[in-house]
Amino acid sequence: MHWLRATDSFPPVEQALQSPNGLLAAGADLTPARLLDAYARGIFPWFSAGQPILWWSPDPRLVLVPSELKISRSLRKTLAKGAFEIKADSAFRAVMHACAEPRSAEGGTWITPEMIDAYSELHRLGYAHSVESWCDGELAGGLYGVALGRAFFGESMFARRTDASKVALAHLVRYLRARKFGLIDCQMHTAHLVSLGAREMPRREFCAQLAKLVHFPQCKIPWVLEQE
């Protein structure tokens, strides 16, 4: 594993460890330039409070091709009901804070205050986005991630009401498909994301596709999502 100083570049992703899968480097910082360079190379930060910044590029990579989203019958009914008002980029920090809330008895989160500040700056610059499900004026669920060209890097999602995060994802995918995005990076394998259509892709193939997608012009900001 490589230890990075502020002026160091990332090593090739092929040098990432096999165990733990994808651990590439540690150190450096979370400046916008560093984060954008990482995402363009197929690298992302993931670390707990008290740890140094850890940088990852797992092999294989979990991805969701926008045209391959699986919408279950029950989710389709929820979408048809229009139970949630969908917004984008209207409560970015609130979404991050909600995603950071502990989800088990163990507690803890990798979305530290340092991460929230770093991604909020990316949001200010037009690279990080949130998609939110609102119900009765309250934030019911949502997700956030980073967009580079025609690639979207999903970071985290949360739900306070049934299907709220899935509805946000469905609207995000609709938005991305309309703008010819090629990939949604889901990073690590989870059964939940696989049930929604995500699949594993060899890192070499992922990085090759990424290199073609990240150089397209950025989408207009703030994002405006059409209602169903």
Residue 210 domain flag: no
22 with 32, same domain: the answer is: yes
Look at residue 48 and tell me if it is in a domain. Answer: yes
Is the pTM value of this prediction over 0.75?
yes
Q: What is the pLDDT along the chain (228 residues), one digit of tens a residue?
A: 899 998 999 999 999 999 999 999 999 999 999 999 999 999 999 999 889 999 999 999 999 999 999 999 999 999 999 999 999 999 999 999 999 998 754 555 789 999 999 999 999 999 999 999 999 999 999 999 999 999 999 999 999 999 999 999 999 999 999 999 999 999 989 999 999 999 999 999 999 999 999 999 998 788 988 754
Closest Cα partner for 152 from 56, 82, 65? 65
Same domain, 142 and 42: no
Question: Do residues 26 and 79 share a domain?
Answer: no
Is 197 part of any domain? yes
Q: How many CB atoms lie within 10 A of CB 90?
A: 15
What domain count does the chain have? 2
- Answer whether residue 221 is part of any domain: no
Q: Are residues 104 and 23 in the same domain?
A: no
Q: Do 39 and 95 share a domain, yes or no?
A: no
Find the domain containing 113 and state its range.
Answer: 62-202
Instruction: Say if residue 75 is in the same domain as residue 47.
Output: no
Shared domain check, 56 and 41: yes
CATH number at residue 9: 3.30.70.3550
Torsion, Cα 138 144 148 150, to 10 degrees, reads: -70
